[in-house]
Homo-oligomer: A and B are copies of this chain.
Amino acid sequence: MAVELKDLTKVEDNYSKWYNDLVVKAGLAENSAVRGCMVIKPYGYAIWEKMQRVLDDMFKQTGHENAYFPLFIPKSFFSREAHHVEGFAKECAVVTHYRLKNDPDGKGIVVDPAAKLEEELIVRPTSETIIWNTYKNWITSYRDLPILCNQWANVVRWEMRTRLFLRTAEFLWQEGHTAHATREEAIAEAEKMIHVYQRFAEDWMGVPVIVGHKSPNERFAGAEDTLTIEALMQDGKALQSGTSHFLGQNFAKAFDVTYTTKEGGQEYVWATSWGVSTRLMGALIMAHSDNNGLVLPPKLAPIQVAMVPIYKGAEQLALMTEKMEAIAAELRARGISVKVDARDNVRSGFKFAEYELKGVPVRLALGPRDLENGTIELARRDTLSKETVSLEGLADRIAALLDEIQANIFRKALDYRTSMITRVDTWDEFVDVLENKGGFISAHWDGTVETEVAIKEATKATIRCIPIDAEEEEGKCIFTGKPSHRRVLFARSY
């Protein structure tokens, strides 16, 4: 599993290849023998676990409980909600048989034709249908509401063009599914959860996001409204990073889920669903990293501080390692995760490059002269700056530095994002900015699906969202010149 730095493609040469190289070489993930399915390697999974833990705590703090629903969904369930089936039941993994047998011709094993399922099962691409079929049995009265469930699970969507973390046939995610007595409560829930996602993206991942509504054309299949958080990658393309849907009564009607109101009437139940996935890993990687490798925000870094001894001979190595372990113990006592790298079969320079590649926020190097002077070399991954500092007060300094790095990473991403939102008022400007600058374009749109589709066909740019804080402003659609009442954000996207 040796790291080969020299082969990392440069950002400016080929962004897409740089990303893929980085994911593989930093030990985050790799392609598997199964088309479109990835292996998430230990270092990548350690970051995902941290994300999961934080999000799970946030879900519980907002009153949600975890549960688990089946991997398989009967085919007929998809036909019940007309929009949903169009969006999800088409490109999917279909289980048709439940047994293999020895090939009568002696060539390994074959599907047993006698073991054909009466009804095919779909490997879940999302779980609204199976969950609402379950909720039907859980909900009788207003007293049973709200139901606030979340599920951590794998899902499968048969994507034709896949990219590690960003778009894979199988991916890991969480999906919240809530049931409410009123429209207002469901809308409030969908809004609450998109803001949970925003807080997670900004405070933990260091990725600023714009919260907004999807245009009808980009809505979740079966939703009445889809809220989204949109992030901007360093190549100027947007990445949809999380969505929260107000589903109205669509699934309640499809699965006949009603409740008795306080007054004794019967009403259909109101629903939301919301999810983030391992796609967030892609956002995290692309938002901050550089030609030296990953840049991880300290709050999500599996290793926050790497310590490398500088030495000649076994005796010096033992001495440096001992001193470093003492410093590490002090840091760990503050909850900082530290790795002391005492390997004697690779050079210090190799270790430096490896921790840069892996995005470890702080690197400490201790040599014999440091020991004499009571100092240590401290390097920051985010700025790549180095300084020699006193051993005295080191733990305080590092604790503060981790906070500073976290803040700096976010600020840098925010400054970039701010510089990459361009207001345009003409079609020529629109095309020019798209081609020569990228980023978000704030422009007027006439509100029709036809115009949105036409713009997409002409430029590959889509409406990323109608920001929730979009101000009323009279203008003219950049494409049709028809009247518009607010600007929306366009971008090319992942």
B91 touches A94 (CB 8 A): no
Pick the contact of A109 from B49, B79, B154 — CB < 8 Å?
Answer: B79
Binary per-residue interface labels of chain A (121-157) against chain B in the complex, 1 for a CB within 8 Å, 0 otherwise: 1110000001001100110000110000100011010
User: Are A108 and B79 in contact, with the CB atoms below 8 A?
Assistant: yes
Interface members, chain A 78-100 (any B CB < 8 Å): 78-79, 85, 89-100
Does A347 have its Cβ within 8 Å of any Cβ on chain B?
A: no
Q: Is the CB of A109 within 8 A of B75?
A: yes
Is A71 engaged at the interface, CB distance under 8 Å to the other chain? yes
Contact B96 A92 (CB under 8 A): no
Among A79, A109, A158, the one with the most B-chain Cβ atoms within 10 Å of its Cβ is: A109
Q: Is A76 an interface residue (CB 8 A)?
A: yes
From A61-69, A234-242, A390-398, give the one contacting chain B: A61-69
A313 at the interface (CB under 8 A from B): no
Contacts of A77 in B (CB 8 A): 33
Q: Number of copies of this chain in the oligomer?
A: 2
A200 within 8 A of B: no
Chain B residues with CB under 8 A of A93: 72, 95, 98, 121
Check A76 against B123 for contact (C-beta < 8 Å): no
Contact with B along A26-47 (1 / 0, CB 8 A): 0000101110011111100110
- Is A70 interfacial (CB-CB < 8 Å)? yes
Mask: chain A, 202-214; 1 = CB below 8 Å from B; 0 = not: 0000000000000
Most buried by B among A1, A94, A130: A94
Query: Contact: A94 with B92, CB < 8 Å?
Result: no
If the complex has contacts A67-B39, A68-B40, A130-B34, are A158 and B99 also in contact, measured as CB distance less than 8 A? yes
Q: Name the one of B32, B130, B138, B149 contacting A33, with C-beta atoms under 8 angstroms.
A: B130
Q: Which of B42, B89, B108 contacts A149 (CB 8 A)?
A: B42
A42, B68: Cα distance in complex, Å: 8
- CA of A158 to CA of B95, assembled, Å: 12
Contact residues in B for A138 (Cβ distance below 8 Å) = 1
Taking CB atoms, residues of chain B closer than 8 Å to A120 are 111
Contact A91 B99, CB 8 Å, known A130-B32, A130-B33: yes
Give bound CA distance, A146 to B144, whole Å: 51
Q: Is A172 an interface residue (CB 8 A)?
A: yes
Which parts of A366-390 form the interface with B (CB within 8 Å)? none
Q: Which residues of B have CB within 8 Å of A452? A: none
A334 at the interface (CB under 8 A from B): no
Distance A45 CA – B94 CA, assembled complex (angstroms): 27
Known: A33-B74, A34-B70, A67-B39. A98 touches B108 (CB 8 A): no
The answer on a CB contact under 8 Å between A49 and B68 is no
Is A67 a contact of B45 with CB atoms below 8 Å?
yes
Residue A301 lies at the interface, judged by CB distance under 8 Å to chain B: no
Which residue of B has the minimal Cβ distance to A37?
B70
Whether the Cβ atoms of A74 and B42 lie closer than 8 Å is: no
Contacts of A99 in B (CB 8 A): 90-92, 94, 158
Chain B proximity of A335: nearest CB distance (Å) = 16
Apart from A1-B144, A39-B69, A40-B68, list 5 A-B contacts with CB within 8 A.
Answer: A32-B69, A39-B134, A68-B172, A89-B109, A100-B122
A sample of 19 inter-chain contacts (CB < 8 A) reads: A30-B137, A33-B133, A37-B72, A45-B68, A46-B66, A71-B156, A72-B170, A75-B100, A89-B100, A89-B109, A92-B98, A92-B100, A93-B121, A94-B111, A96-B111, A99-B158, A100-B122, A111-B120, A143-B345
